[in-house]
Amino acid sequence: MAPLTSEVDQSLDEEALVTKQHLERVYTSIQKYVQGPGVFERAYTYVRHWATESAMIIADERVWEIGANKVKQSLVKHGLRVTDVTFGGEASEAELERICTLAESGTELIIGVGGGKTMDTAKYVANKLHLPCVIAPSTASSDAATSSLSVIYTPDGQFQRYSYYPLNPNMVMVDTKVIVQAPVRFLISGVGDALATWIEAESVINSHATSAAGGTPTIVAAYIGRACMDSLRKYAVQGILSNIRHACTDAFEATVEANTLLSGLGFENAGLAAAHAVHNGLTVLGGPIHQLMHGEKVAYGTLVQLVLENRTLEEYFDIVSFMAECHLPITLEELGLEDISDEDLLKVGEAALKPDETIHNMSKKFSPGDIADAIRAADAYSKKWRQVNNWTEKFIVPPSRHHAHVQDIHP
Ligand SMILES: [Zn+2]
């Protein structure tokens, strides 16, 4: 989102100017959120609000086995006709169009069960066919489930474009019995993404910038962002420890809710700032950074934002200690960037400052050099924190994106 400046742009027409000066407060949301162990087995209870005769379920082969079949059985038991779709794995234009043609004429509802790309696909198909949409994430690794956008990729998996929708999915349904079986790395990545929510939201609100929902952030948006941070600080470490033992505790439930609902509604209704822009900047680099998950990179972006905001060392240490306890990467070495050149850091800075980047929501203006310096400074502050606290544990860049490297962490 572009920043809302106070300067009068002479090229604006009168109507746009009025909108600029009196930007409405906008709040956008899913209609219903359901979370608990075994919810997929009771899916019909919630799905019947939107479908009484037929529905399409989209899931990849693995997710059909671990979750989507349970949703299907619940619907079929109550007399619904279900069209099964096995998602090919890439949210590309060709795959999206293929799935749109599979919907029979009477299909009342699109249900997407699975990870980010399955969710992107279900949202796209539902919007294209003007049907309601239920999203059932199979991990709590990011806050994408509730949002009103999809990322579209090329057939070989490169980012192509965002697809924005006028409304959010109708319902998000989270079966924690399924989520708790996923490798803990997914939950940790979700914590990394969710920890950024309040830090970015606060920055957007303080700068009077426009939210991702396209308006002035509401009071409720600020409370959601704050509650996201508070819940994580209270429960995320226990949630992670529970996940390692596949134990569905209340702390685990609270962590899943923060990662999925609070983070999702928080970011969309308040907005993003430097943490996500730095994340996007990091993706221009080659090498091991691509083995990191979204939230792992966002966590480092959050530390960089703290530096850009000139927070005190005490505030920095407070956040970085919590990230370390959650097993998130806090130094360049842990990102696989120990030997990064000044030239590459400037490239990251340039990419983070692209005109459409969310860093422009901040009131302070930055140069690529400012970003590069903040990335180096964050590394130094984190190392200082390690030294002061004799913290020896390190995040190890996994051999592949889906390798569950933190499985072996012992409480
Ligand atoms: Zn994110």
The 10s digit of each residue's pLDDT in 18-73 is 445 568 999 999 999 999 999 999 999 999 999 999 999 999 999 999 999 999 99
**Other Cβ atoms within 10 Å of 45 Cβ, number:** 12
In a domain, 117, yes or no: yes
pLDDT-derived band at 406 (thresholds 50, 70, 90) equals very low
276 labelled catalytic: yes
In this structure, are 94 and 241 located in the same domain? no
In this structure, are 250 and 346 located in the same domain? yes
Catalytic entry in 175, 193, 373, 379 = 193
Catalytic entry in 120, 294, 344, 360 = 294
Q: Which domain holds residue 37?
A: 32-179
Report the pLDDT value the prediction gives residue 3, as an integer from 0 to 100: 36
In a domain, 122, yes or no: yes
In this structure, are 356 and 284 located in the same domain? yes
Tens of pLDDT, residue by residue over 124-139, are: 999 999 999 999 999 9
Distance 26 CA to ligand 1 centre (A): 20
Report the pLDDT value the prediction gives residue 22, as an integer from 0 to 100: 62
In a domain, 406, yes or no: no
Report the pLDDT value the prediction gives residue 21, as an integer from 0 to 100: 56
In this structure, are 133 and 70 located in the same domain? yes
360 labelled catalytic: no
Distance 260 CA to ligand 1 centre (A): 11
How many domains is the chain partitioned into structurally? 2
What gap in Å lies between CA 120 and CA 128, rounded to an integer? 12
Asked if pLDDT for residue 411 goes beyond 50, the answer is no
Report the pLDDT value the prediction gives residue 402, as an integer from 0 to 100: 58
C-alpha of 206 from chain center: 22
Instruction: Give the mean pLDDT of 104-118.
Output: 92
In this structure, are 42 and 16 located in the same domain? no
Catalytic entry in 276, 327, 360, 379 = 276
In a domain, 403, yes or no: no
Instruction: Give the mean pLDDT of 138-147.
Output: 95
In this structure, are 70 and 126 located in the same domain? yes
SS3 content of the chain, % helix, strand, coil (to 5): 50, 10, 35
Report the pLDDT value the prediction gives residue 248, as an integer from 0 to 100: 97
Asked if pLDDT for residue 401 goes beyond 90, the answer is no
In a domain, 364, yes or no: yes
In this structure, are 266 and 153 located in the same domain? no
Tens of pLDDT, residue by residue over 4-29, are: 333 333 344 445 444 455 689 999 99
Q: Which of 119, 144, 179 is the last residue of a domain?
A: 179
327 labelled catalytic: no
44, 80 contact by CB (below 8 A): yes
Q: What CATH number should be reported for the domain holding residue 281?
A: 1.20.1090.10
Tens of pLDDT, residue by residue over 152-190, are: 888 877 778 889 999 999 999 999 999 999 999 999 999
Instruction: Give the mean pLDDT of 254-278.
Output: 97
In this structure, are 172 and 189 located in the same domain? no
Catalytic entry in 120, 143, 175, 279 = 279
Least confident of 87-91, 136-140, 145-149, 154-158: 154-158
In this structure, are 64 and 138 located in the same domain? yes
Q: Which of 144, 179, 214 is the last residue of a domain?
A: 179
Torsion of the alpha carbons at 250, 270, 124 and 142, rounded to the nearest 10:
-40
Nearest alpha carbon to residue 364 among 246, 259, 274: 274
In a domain, 405, yes or no: no
Distance 350 CA to ligand 1 centre (A): 20
Mean pLDDT of the chain: 91
Distance 194 CA to ligand 1 centre (A): 7
Distance 101 CA to ligand 1 centre (A): 31
Distance 178 CA to ligand 1 centre (A): 22
Q: What CATH number should be reported for the domain holding residue 118?
A: 3.40.50.1970
**Other Cβ atoms within 10 Å of 21 Cβ, number:** 10
Distance 213 CA to ligand 1 centre (A): 15
Cα-flanking dihedrals φ and ψ of residue 57, to 5°? -110, 125
Nearest alpha carbon to residue 148 among 116, 173, 123, 129: 123
In this structure, are 195 and 296 located in the same domain? yes
294 labelled catalytic: yes
In this structure, are 64 and 203 located in the same domain? no
Residue 100 in 3-state DSSP?
helix
In a domain, 401, yes or no: no
Distance 297 CA to ligand 1 centre (A): 9
In a domain, 224, yes or no: yes
Tens of pLDDT, residue by residue over 331-389, are: 999 999 999 999 999 999 999 999 989 999 999 999 999 999 999 999 999 999 999 99
In this structure, are 167 and 54 located in the same domain? yes
Distance 193 CA to ligand 1 centre (A): 5
Distance 362 CA to ligand 1 centre (A): 17
What gap in Å lies between CA 136 and CA 167, rounded to an integer? 17
Q: Which of 139, 160, 179 is the last residue of a domain?
A: 179
